[in-house]
Amino acid sequence: MKELTLDATIENVAAVTAFVDEQLEQLDCPMKTQLQVDVAIDELFGNIAHYAYNPEVGAATVRVEVTENPLAVVITFIDNGVPYDPLAKADPDITLSAEEREIGGLGIYMVKKSMDDVSYEYREGKNILRIKKNI
């Protein structure tokens, strides 16, 4: 298990992505899978940066674990910000045009569709969002 803790800012999305990509490259992760994980990081860490501590800045921890049978990467995002479960919101109606659709929710919908598992819990004053992607 590897862990990175840093300020939850938009500027740090690239650092988080590089940290996770380094772990994925050690697993000979296919590029398509890596790109799906990178999009999920951008969405999830970006949301923490925008909303968890707003208007303040707080820390976020990103944990990367590898599991066997099947080979998978589990990435956990942990912050002490405002409690928020992004999975509780209904999926957007993607059959509607962009003009007809409500704003918000498309990013987390993409994460849910591209990852093999997504879970959230609020425990001991922490938001804990976990994504899993089979390699």
Number of structural domains the chain divides into: 1
Question: What's the pLDDT tens digit per position in 1-49?
Answer: 999 999 999 999 999 999 999 999 999 999 999 999 999 999 999 999 9
103 — pLDDT class (breaks 50, 70, 90): low
Strand order in the sheet with 72-79: 2-7, 59-67, 72-79, 126-134, 117-123
Mean pLDDT score, 44-57: 94
Domain interval for residue 66? 2-134
58 — pLDDT class (breaks 50, 70, 90): very high
Single out the residue of 66, 65, 12, 22 nearest to residue 42, CA to CA.
12
DSSP label of 52: I
What span, in angstroms and rounded, lies between the C-alpha atoms of 9 and 31?
A: 26
CATH number at residue 65: 3.30.565.10
